[in-house]
Structure 1
Amino acid sequence: MESKQASDAQGEPTLMKEEIEQSSNSLDRDTESGQMDDRELQRRLRRIYWKVDLRLIPILGALYAVSGIDRINLSSARVAGMHEDLHFYIGNRYSVVLLVFFITYFMFEIPSNIILRKVGAAIWLSFIAMSWGIVIMCAGFVKTWGPLIAIRLLLGLFEAGFFPGCMYLISCWYRRYQIQQRIAWFYSINVIANGFGSLLAYGIIQMEGLGGLRGWRWIFVIEGLLTCVLAMMGYYLIIDFPDKLLKKKSFLTAEEVELIKAELDKDRGDAVHDPITPMKVLKTLSRWQLWIYSLLFMCVAIGIYGYAFFGVVILQGMGYSPGRVFLLSAPPAIASVPFSLVISYLADRTKLRAPYVAFMAITCTIGYLLVAYPKQNGVRYFGVFLGLAGANGALPAVLAWQANNIRGQSTRATASGLQVAFGAVGGIYASVTFLEREAPTYFSGLWAGIAAQLFMLAACIGMSIYHYIQNRKAARGEMVIEGLEGFRYTY
């Protein structure tokens, strides 16, 4: 990775300042003279954003997908024999192993985003992905559950920066009402991969005994190796922030970058990066609204992690064989993808967030109830479908809601780190409320998840009322929202 920095500094062709100014002046002349009418401008922007979509979303989505697989492959390994080999049946060892990951994951979200901006997206994101891939491979060689604690702590440390970094980067490229669909596509890659991840794990388990290793150990080795390969690809494919692309040769021309920056300024006036300082971080953290968005994301994470960590175990408790459990775990995740994409499309078109978040919370709650109480396996399995649809559909909406209502790149760096950090709190919550002694029903965990969804409903109502009142004040000229005339909150 140092060679890439060196080539940027010494040998890689860069855009000179005169070229950038010339391109910007040309863009200004086109706009002023009317040569670029609105229809032509929109056509060009669609083409430019299509190029950005292809470079940004697939590779980030693929890397986040393997991070998700690496994070939850414990559930597959547990069913495949890890439970007995590492004596997880003693006390709540399995829950403890799940929980410790989130300690370091929570602590390093915001610091990682600060490093990301300084070092560059491609270098930092690929570095941390390579690091967690190596850590995952090490998990395949532990002999007792103790070293697995250290591995999970390191995994949390390295994975901490990836998701908030992706949200920070994506939010700096797109207009406010483009973003939920992009987050949905990014996250859907992860959902699909995790759905098939159980099938992949089942295939890897068939390597039982190869090289003297048990099948569950091969899960960690193979999936860690896959992560390292994708990390190397990410180093060359991940693009940087729009303003940084002007300083080096890229897949966009200087004029195309200027067009995107002009769109961002027209949308929210923060295309130019403002340096991150300790005072700005503290000021951002003092905004109570961001803590509500973070709590909303925590509630979403509770649903996602609950099904991710214990869904396989719940299915196993219905009496299915391990092979059939792996097969049955994929369809609910895959089915949630079109649901999430349709909801995100409608949310961007209607420029609303809260009604869709509330709808997802209700859907997830119904899913929990169907898993908890009916006796028929078919009904309980349908509950898993609804629960995952609600949880996975809410994630893009909650992330987009916060992104829509803040301005300034330094604010985005801190806010996205804080919000995603609370996802770690949701993971801890799910880990400790699904009690081992209640297997395979996990009533406490399911009701804890329902409580989180009810909080989401209350928060949606409260935040919508607050945003409506603030927008009314701004319309009457009594205040300026986010320091920008004409800016309005999304609710």
Structure 2
Amino acid sequence: MASSDKSSAVSEKRIEDAGNTVDVERLSEDDRFPPAVVRKLLFKIDLRMLPLLGLLYAVALIDRTNLGIARVAGMESDLKLKIGERYSIASCIYFVPYTLLQLPSNIVLRVLGARTWLTICVTGWGVAQLGMGFVPTWGYLVLTRVFLGAFEAGFFPALVFIITTWYKRHEIQKRLAGFYLVSIVLGGFSSIFAYALTLLDGKGGLAGWQWIFVIEGAITIALGLLTFLFVADFPDKNKFLTREETKLILDRVEADRGDSIPDEMTWAKLWLHLSDWTIWAYALMFMCATMPAYAIGFFITIILKGMGFSTRDSLLLSGPPSVFAAICCYVCAYFSDKTRKRALLLALQTVFTTIGLFITAYAKPNGVRYLGLFIAKAGASACVPAVLAYGANNVVSHTKRSISTAVIIMFGGIGGIFATTVYRQQDAPRYLNGIWATIGCQFLMLALLAATSFTFLRRNKLARQGKLGPLEGQPGFFYTI
């Protein structure tokens, strides 16, 4: 879009107010965007976006990690998953298409629109999930996991990309934590729901573990229909706000970071954005955050069973750590947005993850080891939206936001591959090697966080002294640390 078009669309310098011409540049933020009006409008957007997107992400997380639950519920013996590394391979193979298709998916997103693309993704992985309930052998299980990863690849980066285009920088983490909170709680109690489904064992000629995939797959397909009917698109394409409300949202984003209107993707921009080392730093940090989250999701029931709990108790005890994690996740996000500080809270959450992992690895009493899972789950879960917010706050333009989001979440898939391969069958049930690999990732997270924080502090200082800038090509922009 030409600069004159962009100016007329969102950055009008003069507006009409009660018949009088008012100079926008001389108005305070509260005059331009009255707090009461903004709060009401943001609540309307939150209500439209967050519950549905949160539910969809919760289902995505359940569908990708319920393999561990099904394994405990009888799939291991039926499909002979104890042979070699079959379970780890079936878990890991999902992340290959999930990782490779992130960036292409975000490019397709702007072309097809959020509603169409997300509907394709949700319905597609629902069918793959349903198919897992009818696999006769381990090989077919691996094939369905490939399709599951391919369709889920486009969902999470699209979800994060869409949310970050609606809000100002210091409103993002609460929203990301909001939908992630839904996913943590529902994902945590998916083990209890799965246990209920295993009670259908023998019904319709299906084993209990098969009913887990059949019912959850059918639910996902139904949600695909809701996605088509209700999901919100990008602000400039939305259909549920009035023209005046849309303009207010776009003006707020324009005033905050100057990228309310999408810029055109070109090959030159693609390579320019990919050459920014900070994007790769965010990506590695996200890998470090997702690795413990995936490890706990895939292996918590197995670790609990290794402590001596029965299958029923292992499934039921998998839920409570998620409730604690959800509370910590939102509290950390609230204070991060309120204080406008990202790095310090992210560092604290990483330290908590590390402490929890050490306790789970080396404590003797089962109760203390279970407490370690609470702490590790809480720290890792809070880190996921924190890294996403940290990255989203420090990029400008739709093209860079699209690329950075895809690259960051792509490395989340690598974190999943890492988690499913270092937690080896021969290390069960304590998985000390896997836990140490996860702890190593937390130290890498802290190192990367220190490097980016130092860089941003230095760039902000130079920009304020007039020796560097404009940062990210946007006058008045400063990095969030």
TM tier relative to shorter chain: over 0.9
Whole-angstrom distance in 1 between the partners of 2:215 and 2:268: 44
Residue among 216, 220, 225 paired with 1:227: 220
CA contact (8 A) 2:61 2:183 kept: yes
Q: Establish whether residue 490 from structure 1 lines up as the match of residue 477 from structure 2.
A: no
Offset, 1:429: 0.5
Change (3 A) 1:462 1:75: same
Query: Which residue of structure 1 lines up, in the alignment, with residue 329 of structure 2?
Result: 340
Distance 1:147 1:483 in 2: 50
* Structure 2 residue aligned with 1:190: 183
- Is 1:354 paired with 2:343? yes
Structure 1 residue 33, shift from structure 2 partner: 3.2
Q: 135, 146, 149: which one pairs with 1:142? A: 135
Cα 1:457–1:26 change in 2 (3 A) is closer
Question: What value does the CA root-mean-square deviation take over the aligned residues?
Answer: 1.7
Dislocated runs of 4+, deviation >4 Å: 21-27, 34-37
1:130, 1:228 within 8 Å by CA — same for their partners in 2? yes
Q: 2:5 maps to which residue?
A: none
**Deviations, residues 256-314 of structure 1 (Å, cap 9, x unaligned):** 11011110010000001112222222211111110000000000010101101111100
Give SS of 2:468's match: coil
Percent identical among aligned pairs is 42
Matched pairs, number? 467
Check the 8 A contact 1:23/1:255 in 2, yes or no.
no
Q: Which residue of 1 aligns with 2:375?
A: 386
- Which deviates the most, 165-174 or 272-281? 272-281
What is the TM-score with the length of structure 2 in the denominator?
A: 0.95
2: CA distance, partners of 1:424 / 1:103: 8
Q: Aligned-pair distance for 1:34?
A: 8.0
Residues 74-113 of structure 1: pairs in structure 2 closer than 5 A: 74-113=67-106
Q: Runs of 5+ in structure 1 lacking a partner?
A: 1-20
> Residues of 1 paired with 2:258 and 2:124: CA distance?
36
SS in 1 for 2:308: coil
> Is 1:298 equivalent to 2:291 in the alignment?
no
Distance 2:380 2:14 in 1: 43
Match of 2:154 among 153, 161, 168: 161
Q: Which residue of 1 aligns with 2:3?
A: none
SS in 2 for 1:279: helix
Q: Secondary structure at the match of 1:28?
A: strand
Matched, 1:29 2:16: yes
Deviation per CA, 1:139-166, whole angstroms, max 9, x where unpaired? Answer: 0011110011111111110000100000
User: Residue type of the partner of 2:406?
Assistant: G
Choose which of 446, 453, 460 in structure 2 pairs with 1:457.
Answer: 446
Q: What one-letter code is carried by the residue in structure 1 that aligns with 2:304?
A: L
Tell me the distance in 2 between the aligned counterparts of 1:239 and 1:75. Answer: 33
- Is the contact made by 1:23 and 1:254 (CA closer than 8 Å) also made in structure 2? no
Counterpart AA for 2:150: L
Q: 1:353/1:25 Cα in 2 relative to 1: closer, same or farther (>3 Å)?
A: closer
Q: How many angstroms does 1:24 deviate by? A: 9.3
Distance in structure 1 (CA, Å) of the matches to 2:476 and 2:13: 28
Describe the superposition over 1:323-357 as per-residue Cα deviations: whole angstroms up to 9, x where unpaired.
11111100001111111111101111111111111
1:26 positional shift: 12
The alignment status of 1:400 with 2:389, answered yes or no, reads yes
C-alpha separation between the residues in 1 aligned to 2:159 and 2:229? 16
Q: Does residue 323 of structure 1 match 2:312?
A: yes
Which whole-Å deviations, capped at 9, do the CAs of 1:428-485 have from their partners, x for residues lacking one?
A: 1111110100110100100001000011111111111111100000000011101112
Counterparts of 1:132-281 in structure 2, within 5 Å, are 132-245=125-238, 250-281=239-270
**Could you say what secondary structure the match of 1:297 adopts?**
helix
* Structure 2 SS opposite 1:89: coil
For normalisation by structure 1, the TM-score amounts to 0.93
Aligned 8 A contact 2:360 2:373 in 1: yes
1:14 match: none
Contact 1:24 1:255 in 2 (8 A): no
* Equivalent position SS for 1:29: strand
Could you tell me which residue of structure 2 aligns to residue 423 of structure 1?
Answer: 412
Larger mean CA deviation between 38-47 and 391-400 belongs to 38-47
Indicate conservation of the 8 Å contact 1:80/1:216, yes or no.
Answer: yes
**Deviation readout 1:3-33 (Å, 9 max, x if unpaired):** xxxxxxxxxxxxxxxxxx8999898213953
1:375 to partner: Cα distance: 1.2
Distance 1:22 1:139, change over 3 A: closer
For the residues of structure 2 that align with 1:74 and 1:486, how far apart are their CA atoms? 48
1:468 partnered with 2:461: no
CA distance in 2, matches of 1:26, 1:240: 27
SS in 1 for 2:34: helix
What is the alpha-carbon distance in structure 2 between the residues aligned to residue 94 and residue 52 of structure 1?
41
User: Does the alignment pair 1:57 with 2:42?
Assistant: no
> Which letter maps to 1:107?
L
After TM superposition, the structure 1 stretch with the greater mean CA deviation from structure 2, 175-184 or 36-45, is: 36-45
* Amino acid across the alignment from 2:294: Y
Of residues 100, 105, 110, the one that matches 1:117 is 110
Alpha-carbon distance between aligned partners in 2 of 1:410 and 1:24, rounded to the nearest angstrom: 20
Classify 1:397/1:24 alpha carbon distance in 2 versus 1 (closer, same or farther; 3 Å).
closer
Match of 1:369 in 2: 358
For residues 455 and 414 of structure 1, the distance between their equivalents in structure 2, rounded to whole angstroms, comes to 23
Counterpart amino acid of residue 264 in structure 1: V
> For 2:300, which of 291, 311, 315 is the aligned residue?
311
CA contact (8 A) 2:13 2:23 kept: no
| DSSP 3-state at the match of 2:166 | coil
Change (3 A) 1:26 1:403: closer
Partner letter of residue 182 of structure 2?
A: I
Distance 1:351 1:26 in 2: 28
The residue aligned with 1:7 is none
Partner of 1:447: 436
